[in-house]
Structure 1
Amino acid sequence: MPAMQEILLLVGRLNYVWTNTESLFIYLISHLMGTSKEAAIVVFLTLNTTRARLDLIERLAKLPGTDPADRAQIEAFAKRLGREGKLRNKYNHCIYSFDETGERAFTQLMRISDVSDDIRYGKIEVLDEAEMERINATISAVTAVNRDIWGFLNAHGIKA
């Protein structure tokens, strides 16, 4: 069973690679809108959720003036990040608990489920080695998207 410090460091890494990658949306927005980096920053910061930013990028990519090859790449970036975002959201919207030794870890999801005449909330799950592997896989996948976005930006002569 992973220890508290190991878990918190891993979740921190997950958040770091995610926010670092999401910040590259600024350059995609600038490119797709044909606007300055500063204007793209305003748009990026005005949209306060990842989902809204992904939606914007996907919609801009679908505009008629977008090169079909660019559209396909940008849509692929968005799809890959959307898929990885599920696990990231889980670990950003839960409560962590540890046993008295700090060795057994649990997450409690902060989500309400309406089930028939009842509501359920706070599903508790063990954070074990298998789950740590899933977090590491997500970190690797987001890092790969980051590199691919950098490749796209470099291929288009976009300086970050």
Structure 2
Amino acid sequence: MSAPETSAKTTEFETFLNLVGRLNYTWTNTESLLIHMIAGLAGVTKEVATVIFLTLNTSRARLDLVERLAKLKADRPDLKDEILSLTSAMQKALKLKNKYNHCIYSFDNEGRNASTVLMRISDLKGRIEYGKTSPINTREIGLVKDTILKTQTVNRKLWDFFERHRFPV
């Protein structure tokens, strides 16, 4: 008896799942750099910044804190603008990461043609929507790959920022 054949769609989904894992790894690695940003902006030690980072239990809250601390630096508009540019890029990656981490996956009757079903309610005028579906296809795979590359670029830019501005590392 031969092994079951792997269809192109199954391979495409497996590729996608591997990329989502890579996206999560890349995001987590980059998000942890906010500890250094908090330390530098708040003027605290890395240990204190780590406690603050871990106390905030969402990526969104951590990014909000960094952006608010940057906006307090009225005497350094160049610093503020650079930080907000970095956090803006991180927000875009976070949105895609959250899409794939907070959805369910559906398939046709034969276990193929994967798609995502968003597990979020959208409040609209007089009604709600939920369960928006999107196919997992070559376009989505390309979007995940692109987001991984952009997140890696932000990571390198953060390290460069810390060095140039002498933030605690």
Q: Is TM (by shorter chain) over 0.5? A: yes
Q: Which moved more, 1:141-150 or 1:98-107?
A: 98-107
Contact 1:61 1:71 in 2 (8 A): yes
The alignment covers a number of residue pairs equal to 160
Per-residue CA deviation, residues 21-43 of structure 1 (Å, 9 max, x unaligned), is: 10000000001111111100110
1:16 alignment partner in structure 2: 25
Give the drift of 1:49: 1.2
1:79 alignment partner in structure 2: 88
Give the drift of 1:118: 4.2
2:77 alignment partner in structure 1: 68
Task: Tell whether 2:131 aligns with 1:89.
Answer: no
Give the drift of 1:159: 5.5
1:43 alignment partner in structure 2: 52
In structure 2, which of residues 131, 137, 154 is the aligned counterpart of residue 122 of structure 1?
A: 131
Per-residue CA deviation, residues 113-151 of structure 1 (Å, 9 max, x unaligned), is: 334554332122111001111111111111111110011
Task: Tell whether 2:156 aligns with 1:142.
Answer: no
Per-residue CA deviation, residues 87-116 of structure 1 (Å, 9 max, x unaligned), is: 122111111234576652211100113345
Counterparts of 1:14 and 1:47, CA distance in 2: 21
Contact 2:73 2:80 in 1 (8 A): no
Counterparts of 1:24 and 1:66, CA distance in 2: 24
What amino acid maps onto 2:25 in structure 1?
Y
2:64 alignment partner in structure 1: 55
Larger radius of gyration: 2
Q: TM (normalized to structure 2)? A: 0.84
In the alignment, structure 2 segments of 5+ residues that lack a partner are 1-8
Contact 2:86 2:154 in 1 (8 A): yes
Counterparts of 1:111 and 1:64, CA distance in 2: 35
What amino acid maps onto 1:148 in structure 2?
K
